[in-house]
Structure 1
Amino acid sequence: MPLDLASVEPSNSAILVIDVQNDFVSGSLAVRDAEQIINTINALLTLPFALKVATQDYHPANHISFARNHTGKKEFDKITIFPPAELVAKRTPEDERPLEALEQVLWPVHCVQDTTGVAFVDGLKHEGLEVIRKGCDVGIECYSAFEDPWGLTNTGLKDKLRNKEISNVFVVGIAGDYCVKSTALDAKKHGFRTFVIRDAVKSVSDEGTEWTEMTKAGVEIIDTAEELLTSKIFSQ
């Protein structure tokens, strides 16, 4: 199916580079072959997007998602987590999002604040990109670049996009079945036309269910970065 870029212009488009960090490429939670997408992402970053954003997982050492912080639990076990009471108490009356319990995978320690693992990988041309940090709260996991699953905290990304009058977002990075997917679904939910570029994404699992889930939600999948790189719309 031909790529439909109707209404897409550089002036109303942003690229979101998700979590291309040392720990996800060669460190404690490395995604297989993640280094293979770096050159593709760099090529996309040469296009004249109105806004270019890079996210960082940015956890405190005692983060709830780390297996070592749960007695008797092993890496990749699952637990049930609940919204932190101190943040629930700050909710505004108009916020009606349900505060249900969520399943949480327990991960190896990764992307801890002020460590080498949290840094962008060597080779990623991240100079000049706006940086959004997520997962900073001890008691909340935040896969999405926009907000946590309960909507109790947000990163400011939605406002940043709105202030730049962005209508279209292009999502790339790591991992397709976690942070890329969550970011794309939230972008679509917030009213942005959302694209994910398949050959600029690496996932943890080979199952591929994330692509079906995103497509069902209305996210548009671009098979290759070359489709954008050769598009007249983005020619400079």
Structure 2
Amino acid sequence: MSSLPEETREWLERTGFTVSDPKLWLEALTHGSFNGGAANTAEADYQRLEFLGDRVLGLSVASWLYNAHEAPEGRLSQRLNALVSGSTCARIARSIGLPEHIRLGKQAREDGGADSDNILGDVMEALIGASFVENGYDKTRDCVYRLWEAELVGDSGKAKHPKSALQEWAAGNRRAMPKYEVVERTGPDHAARFTVRVSVHNVGEAEGVASSKGEAEKRAAQAFLEEYG
């Protein structure tokens, strides 16, 4: 089994992680391609730690949002989804110099895997998972807050259109995409009123009413997020 390179360990510690078990951090940095796709290999990849880190990141950011804002649930969910998205995780990963430390197979590296949003986001979460295993929630949460500081105080997820926010919510929660339908149109052309229903399979539905179809869709999406987001 490989050992954690000293320069990688130094980089992790400069980044704010505390490394006690090098094997754990090596696992967090190893993509499946490094093993040639072989099962039961001695070189474990990051998937299990990513699964854990995803939950720790979500809890850390949700806690920060809850304590920092008086916004309703739907708006908090909108910001949470933006802050823990794969693209945000990848952006953080690039900012700390993660790409050069990922262990990739030759073909995956040649194919640009070290700059893939999907891979960078996954490995970022795996590092959070490794930190949680070694150092517990409190230290890991504090590390997340340091790394995510600019995102937390910035505008991520603040002003997103409700339809876009609902689509992101559905994708982030592995749900079917929202479906919109006009269920009623009343009044003359110059003063029409549209009622639009939005639904997400196996979740629920909500309605919005406005003088245009587009505005009714927007209000329906906002109502859905406030109810189920």
State TM-score, norm by structure 1: 0.25
- The structure richer in strand per residue is 1
- The structure richer in helix per residue is 2
Larger RCO of the pair (alpha carbons < 8 Å, separation 6+): 1
